[in-house]
Structure 1
Amino acid sequence: MSLAPLIDFMARGGSALWVIAALSVLTLALFLWRLAELAQGGAWRRPQAETWIAEWSKGGPPPASPARAPLDRVAKAAMRALLVPEFSAEAAEKETTRIAKAELASLRRGLRPLELIAAIAPLVGLLGTVLGMIGAFQALQESGSGADPSVLAGGIWEALLTTAAGMAVAIPASALASWIEGQAEREQARMEDAATRILTRAAARPALLHAAE
C-alpha cells in the first residue's frame, strides 16, 4: 500500500498537521499503555476485601492470599498496620493512607499528558488554520484582479484541515483522561470506605481486645 496519498494529505495541512499526527500517535500509545498497566495492576479484578473485612471483624488474621486488586492491597495494608506493636491507631491510619495514595497515583498515571494533549491539540489546529488562511489571502493578493476564487477556496479548506484534525485528537484524549479520572475516583471511594471500616472495627476485634487486656 502506497503512503504517497497520506503524505500528500499531510503536506497540505502544513507543519501543524504533522504535530497533530504526532499527538494522535502519542494518545494511542498512552491509551494502550494505561490499559496494560491497569490490567496488570488488577484494576478489573474482583476484589476480595469484603470477605477479608468480614473475617477480620471476627478476629481473624490478615489475609495470607496475595492482594491482586488495588482495594485489596489497601485493605491488607490497613490490617497489617493495626497489628504492628510499635504503631498507634494514628500511625496505622497514616500508613494506610500512604499505601492508598500510592495506589491512586498508579491509577492516575498518564492523566496529565492526556489532559495536556486535549488542551493543546485544538490550539495547534487553530494555529495551522490561521497560518493557512494567511497564506491563502497572500496568494489572492499576489494574483491581483485576475484572482481565481477557487484558489482561495482551496486554500481555505486546506487550512481548515488542521482545525478538524486538532479536534479529532482532542476529543478522544479528553474522553480517555476523564475515564482514567473516573476509575481513580471510584477506587478512592472504595478504599476510603474499606479503610474506615477496618480502622473503626479494630477495637471490637477479639484479638485486639485480648491484647489490650
Structure 2
Amino acid sequence: MQPTAPVVDAGRLQSLIETGGPVVAILLALSVVALAVILLKLWQFIAIRIGSRKFIDQALHRWREGNAKEALAALDGVRNPIAGVMALAMRGRMDKNVPESVVREEASRVAVENIETLRGQFRILEVIGALSPLLGLLGTVLGMIEAFRQLEMAGSQVDPALLSGGIWVALLTTAVGLAVAIPVVAALNALERVLDRFRHRMEDAVTQVFTIPLPSGGETSGAVPFERARRVADAH
C-alpha cells in the first residue's frame, strides 16, 4: 500500500494542472523555484553560522585588554563575514601608515559587499511573492471569461451546473496563487529579519573596534598587514 502514495499525489498534481491550466503550471513552477532559493539561503546562513557571536565577544575582549595578536587569532579561520571585517579594521588601526578614515571606509565597503552577497536571491522571492497572486487573479479572470462564453453558447438552455463549474475552476487559480505567495512572503520576511540582525551585529562589532583605544605595543610596521587583510576580504 505504501508505494501507491506517490502515484496518488502525482495524479492529484496532474489533475490540478489540467484543471487550472497553464497558469497553475506556472505557479507550481514558481513555487519550486522559491523553495530552492529558500533552501539555498538557509544553507548559506547555516554555513557561515550567521547567528554566532561568541567569536565577536572573544576578539573584542582581547582587543580591549590590549592583546591585538590574540584578538586577531580569535577571528582567524571563522567563516562568518563579521570576522573578516573586524580583522580588516583591527589591522588597519594597527598600521600607522594608513589613515583611520581610509580604514573606516574600507571596512564599510567590505561590510556592505558582504551584506549584498547574503541578500542575493532575495529579489527572486520578492518577485514571486508579488507575481503569484496576480497570476492567480489573471487565471481567474480568464476562467470567468471562458465560463460566461460557454454560458452564452448554451443559449436559452442554460445549465446552472455549467456556470458553477466554470466559476470554481476559475477561482482555483487564485487559491493556488495565494498558496504560493503567502509562504514565500513569510519566508522572505523571516530571512530579511535574520539579515537585519546580522547587519546590526556587524556594525556594532566594527564600531567597537574603532572606539576601543588602540592596544599598546600592538602596532605593525608597513602597510602589508592591512593590504593583505584587504585582499583576503575582497577574495571572500
Give the aligned partner of residue 207 of structure 1: 217
Structure 1, residues 126-150: CA drift from partner, whole Å, max 9, x if none?
A: 0000000000000001001111111
Does 2:157 align with 1:146? yes
In percent, how many aligned pairs have the same letter? 37
1:77 to 68, 80, 88: 88
SS in structure 2 at match of 1:145 = coil
Give the aligned partner of residue 118 of structure 2: 107
| Larger mean Cα displacement after TM superposition, 154-163 or 178-187 | 178-187
Does 2:72 align with 1:63? yes
Query: Structure 1 residue 8: deviation in Å?
Result: 2.1
Instruction: Within 5 Å, give how 1:161-200 maps onto structure 2.
Output: 161-200=172-211
Report the TM-score, using the length of structure 2 for normalisation: 0.83
Query: Structure 1 residue 186: deviation in Å?
Result: 0.6
Give distance in 2, aligned partners of 1:189 and 1:5: 46
Amino acid at match of 1:207: G
Instruction: Summarize the Cα distance change of 1:193–1:44 in structure 2 as closer, same or farther, 3 Å threshold.
Output: closer
| 1:137–1:152 Cα contact (<8 Å) kept | yes
Give distance in 2, aligned partners of 1:105 and 1:76: 19
Does 2:123 align with 1:132? no
Amino acid at match of 1:49: I
Structure 2: 5+ residue runs without aligned partners?
1-6, 222-236
Does 2:31 align with 1:24? yes
SS in structure 1 at match of 2:124 = helix
Give the aligned partner of residue 47 of structure 2: 40
Give distance in 2, aligned partners of 1:207 and 1:7: 71
Structure 1: 5+ residue runs without aligned partners?
none
Give distance in 1, aligned partners of 2:213 and 2:120: 33
Query: Structure 1 residue 6: deviation in Å?
Result: 2.2
Give the aligned partner of residue 156 of structure 1: 167
Structure 1, residues 35-78: CA drift from partner, whole Å, max 9, x if none?
A: 11111222144431111111112221242232232333322221
Report the TM-score, using the length of structure 1 for normalisation: 0.91
| 2:51–2:198 Cα contact (<8 Å) kept | no
| 1:202–1:208 Cα contact (<8 Å) kept | no
Amino acid at match of 2:91: R
Structure 1, residues 78-112: CA drift from partner, whole Å, max 9, x if none?
A: 11222234311101111211221122112212111
Instruction: Within 5 Å, give how 1:86-125 maps onto structure 2.
Output: 86-125=97-136
Give distance in 2, aligned partners of 1:197 and 1:44: 19
| 1:46–1:69 Cα contact (<8 Å) kept | no
| 1:47–1:69 Cα contact (<8 Å) kept | no
Work out the number of aligned pairs and report it.
Answer: 210
